[in-house]
Amino acid sequence: QDAQRAAKPVVILKTGRSDLGQQMAASHTGALAGSHEVFLAVAQRYGAAVVDDLDDLWQVAQMFAKLRESGKLLPRGDRFVSTGAASCAVSGGHIGLLADLAAHGGIRFPQLSEATQQRLREGLGKDGEILNPVDMSGGSVSDHGTWARTLAPLLDDDAIAVGLPILTAAKNYDTVIADLQTLAAAHDKPLI
């Protein structure tokens, strides 16, 4: 609660998620590790991020530090609860993977407004409904400008609090990264 009041994010890497892990924790400290599900519920209630390994601990802590430094660290409150994330990728497989991971992590991808969908149809040269996360596959793979043309309308949508582009393996993303940096500087919403 002190961290919440100070608007400081808390990132936790906890052992004892499995039965064996709980036994190992108890044998080392002499204490019970407790139910992992209960721990996760308490962490979620108080806004702490629980990570799975040391790499995640480092990366999530770095992400929070950069967001805080940029003034884009989202407070836990009405804005985040009532809104969600938007993502885009050139790979349908990556979109599916993100959807699975997001569902596990409690991240919501709200339906996009008709105005946002229309802007995306024009930018992507597609017809029909545009879902969130946005599958940019097709001719956009070779057009690196598509990333900014896709993310700009997403960040302008009132239902979106954060943008999560998925960059897949490529020889060079210099143009995309430059566009994303420009876009991030022009918006008050985080682009991760």
| pTM to 2 decimal places | 0.71
Cα–Cα dist 146/161, whole Å: 21
Query: At 165, is the secondary structure helix, strand, or coil?
Result: strand
CA 91/CA 99 separation, integer angstroms: 13
- pLDDT, position 28: 53
Sites in the chain below the pLDDT cut of 50: 77-82
pLDDT given at position 154: 95
Task: Name the residue type at position 40.
Answer: L
Q: How far apart are CA 67 and CA 52, in angstroms?
A: 21
What pLDDT, on a 0 to 100 scale, did the predictor assign at position 72?
72
Q: Please report the pLDDT score of residue 160 as a whole number.
A: 92
CA distance 73 to 162: 10
Give the pLDDT confidence score for residue 81 in this predicted structure: 45
CA 75 to chain centre: 15
User: Is residue 49 within 8 Å of 14, Cβ to Cβ?
Assistant: no
Q: What is the DSSP string of 93-104?
A: HHHHHHHHHHHH
Please tell me the predicted confidence (pLDDT) of residue 27.
56
The pLDDT of residue 80: 46
Q: Which amino acid is at 66?
A: K
